[in-house]
Structure formats: C-alpha cells, structure tokens
Amino acid sequence: MSFKVIIPARYASTRLPGKPLLDVGGKPMVQRVYEQALKSDADEVIIATDDSRIEEFAKKLGAAVCMTSAEHESGTDRLQEVAAKRQFADDEIVINVQGDEPLIPPGVINYVAEDLAQHPQAGISTLYEKIDELELVMDPNVVKIVFDKQGYALYFSRAPVPWSRDFFSSKEPRLPAGSQYYRHIGVYGYRVSLLHQFVSWPMSNLELVERLEQLRAMENASRIHCAEVPETIPGGVDTEEDLERVRALMAKK
C-alpha cells in the first residue's frame, strides 16, 4: 500500500504564535511531528507551510517542504494545494498529520491509511475513541461522531449526539447505562480525487454552523469511514497548558 503524509504547519496560530517552532524536549515541535511521521510506512513526508521561517527550518532539517497560500480557510485546502503542485495521482492516499501532534504514534498513521485503502467507497478515513464521561459528552470542544453499522459517518457535532431525551433533560443530567458516545480524533486520510472535489465546493451550511470542515464533504455526499483508534494518542498542542503537558511527557521519556 502506497501513501503520503502531509504535515500542515502554520506559524500564525492565534493562541500560540510560532507554534511549529516552539521547543518540545530540545527540538522544534514540527521536527518532532516530522520524525514520528518518518517512522510510519509513508512513501514520502511533506511539511506544508505558509511561512518562510518554517520553510527555512524544514530545509535545514532535510525535509521535503511545500510553500502554500496563507489564505486557506481549512487544512484540507492546504493539502489539496500540495497534491496539485506535486501532481499526485487521483487514487493516491494522503494522510493529514497536524503539525501540533508531536507524540502521534506512527502506527496510527499507518492504520488510517490502511482503513481508507480497505474501504473503496470512502473518500476520507478518520478515527474515534469511546468516551464515558458526561463532561466530555457535553463539551463543545470535544467533537462527537455518530456512524452506521459499517463504520460510515452519519454526523459530526460539537453537541452531545445522540441526545438522550430522558437523561439529559433532567435537572441532574447523566449518561444512560450502556450508552455509546464517541470522540472524533482528527487524523484524516484522503483520496486525492476527493481533495480536488473538496476545494471546488463552497463552505456548506452545516460546516458554517458547527465549524467542522468534514461536514462539507458529507453534505456533498462523500462518505467518511471511521475506525476506532488502535492505540492512545497523546493530545495535541493548542494552548500553553497543552505545551507544558507535552513537554512534561517528553521529559519522562
């Protein structure tokens, strides 16, 4: 099976400016991500950025790097630009590994690629994990996912879906016994043909409401296959607190 990894790395993060170049255990974060991706079975690992400082560092690292537009609304748009510039074949599989996931297990990258290869009806593959805490189910920053019996996504939402009428509407909300709730893990596999279609579609109504770009694909009848994450993925870095947590984990290693 052939696949490529693209690592989007933006410098202008709102909460952590210059995030890809921040130190994590003695190395810039994007280097940590790149080194993890190299341990996967990918044929090629490419850093995609809109900033010359990240480009310069990637070149010093010896990494393949592709400069992309600073105007992209989503990471998927950035991936498509790389695929177009590199003239990837339509049936090529591309894995999006975020530049703020310095501890992502290489096996997870392989797993997402394998899942997409095994489901030819899907244009996208992604991951989920079970959650059994009411606080997480109700948290709008935790994206919930509902899928059918074959693992194809039915919906993604920041809301607590499915809504438990009898348990969530009470004065003391609680999870019903035996309930099944799933958190979306944002590692994606794409067929290049889907990437080219995606950028031709305008932002969809559901995407605008939920601020979840995968809903654009679903509203345009593209199927997303979901698989349970095969191993724990330490959280990514969005905030200063996340950064300190990851630094502490690296120190233990």
Sequential pLDDT tens for the chain (253 residues)? 799 999 998 887 767 778 888 888 888 889 999 999 999 999 999 999 999 999 999 999 999 999 998 888 888 899 999 999 999 999 999 999 988 888 899 999 999 999 999 999 999 999 999 998 888 888 888 899 999 999 999 999 998 988 887 667 777 787 777 789 999 998 999 999 999 999 999 999 999 999 999 999 999 999 999 999 988 887 777 777 887 888 888 777 6
- Percent helix / strand / coil, the chain, rounded to 5: 35, 25, 40
pLDDT of residue 11: 82
- Expressed as residue numbers, the domain containing 241 is 3-252
Gap between the Cα atoms of 50 and 118, Å rounded = 33
| DSSP symbol at 231 | S
Q: How far is CA 101 from CA 60, 106, 132, 145, in A?
A: 21, 11, 24, 21
Count of domains for the chain? 1
Gap between the Cα atoms of 122 and 139, Å rounded = 29
CB 234 within 8 A of CB 25: no
Gap between the Cα atoms of 33 and 29, Å rounded = 6
Gap between the Cα atoms of 93 and 116, Å rounded = 8
pLDDT of residue 100: 86
Q: How far is CA 231 from CA 106, 111, 188, 193, 250, in A?
A: 10, 10, 16, 29, 18
Contacts of 223 (CB under 8 A, 6+ apart): 121, 122, 123, 124, 152, 153
pLDDT of residue 177: 79
Gap between the Cα atoms of 105 and 84, Å rounded = 28
CA geometry: angle 135, 141, 147, nearest 5 deg: 85
pLDDT of residue 161: 87
CB 114 within 8 A of CB 95: no
Which domain CATH number covers 160? 3.90.550.10
pLDDT of residue 167: 67
- Overall residue count recorded for the chain in this entry: 253
pLDDT of residue 48: 95
Question: Residue ranges of the alpha helices (H) in the chain?
Answer: 29-38, 52-61, 75-85, 106-117, 134-138, 165-168, 192-198, 205-210, 214-219, 240-252
Q: How far is CA 152 from CA 30, 40, 143, 226, in A?
A: 31, 25, 16, 6
